[in-house]
Amino acid sequence: MARSTLSTAELRRPTVAAAAVRAFARGGYHGTTIADVAREAKISPAYVIKLFPTKEKLFTAALEACFDQILAALEAGADTASSISPDEVLDAMADAYAALITDRTLLLLQVHAQSVAEIPEIGAAFRAGLERIVTYAKDRSRGTDEAVQRFIAFGQLCHLLVAANVQEVPGPWARLLTAGMRHL
């Protein structure tokens, strides 16, 4: 019986990707260097480059790790739905996602990814992550296309409101945008 063993590099890739999530969330794509990620991961920049030969590959690995965490949260949320009704499942997933982004790291990484989505490799990874979320939400909830679109749209509005701290702003325009948003 053959035993599968992972190389040190294969074992370190998830750790470095997690460090990249944190570093890129803080500084964005343009404001974060490979050395910043290496410092966060407590390894040398040369080793980061060995694992991820370009900054684009490092950022896309961070983005993939981000979407992995989002999908895990959506799955856990769906598992807690009070019924199998599509709306109940989508609401439970939304609650789980809202809890996930309370620390803002994954939220900020996604915002930074949107800002550099014109870089082909990053744009492709971002779209692939969105595809994973939409496909999972549709398959798991069995909701209509309109219900899933609304789920994604409200999630993006929630991103905007949380990223800009709109919930803390007095005024009619802020109340209009935050009305009915229970995830703030």
Residues 6+ apart with CB under 8 A from 34: 45, 48, 49, 52, 55, 58
The whole-model pTM stands at 0.89
Spatial CA neighbour of 87 closest among 12, 35, 34, 144: 144
For residue range 160-183, what is the model confidence (pLDDT) as tens digits?
Answer: 888 888 988 999 999 999 888 765
Q: What pLDDT is attached to residue 184?
A: 53
Spatial CA neighbour of 90 closest among 106, 67, 69, 74: 74
Q: Distances from the Cα of 179 to the Cαs of 33, 107, 182, in angstroms?
A: 39, 21, 8
**Range 8-178: architecture per CATH:** Orthogonal Bundle (1.10)
2 pLDDT above the threshold of 80: no
For residue range 92-136, what is the model confidence (pLDDT) as tens digits?
Answer: 999 999 888 888 999 999 999 999 999 999 999 999 999 999 999
For residue range 139-156, what is the model confidence (pLDDT) as tens digits?
Answer: 999 999 999 999 999 888
Residues 170, 176, 177, 179, CA torsion sign: positive
Residue 154, classed as helix, strand or coil, is helix
Residues 6+ apart with CB under 8 A from 16: 37, 41, 43, 48, 51, 52, 58, 61
**Percent of the chain at pLDDT exceeding 90:** 77
- The stretch 63-90 carries a mean pLDDT of 96
Q: Distances from the Cα of 128 to the Cαs of 4, 11, 78, 135, in angstroms?
A: 29, 24, 21, 10
79 pLDDT above the threshold of 90: yes
Domain residue limits, the chain: 8-178
4 pLDDT above the threshold of 80: no
6 pLDDT above the threshold of 70: no
For residue range 10-66, what is the model confidence (pLDDT) as tens digits?
Answer: 889 999 999 999 999 999 999 999 999 999 999 999 999 999 999 999 999 999 999
Spatial CA neighbour of 137 closest among 154, 151, 127: 151
Total Cβ atoms within 10 A of residue 14: 12
65 burial level (CB within 10 Å; 0-12, 13-18, 19+): buried
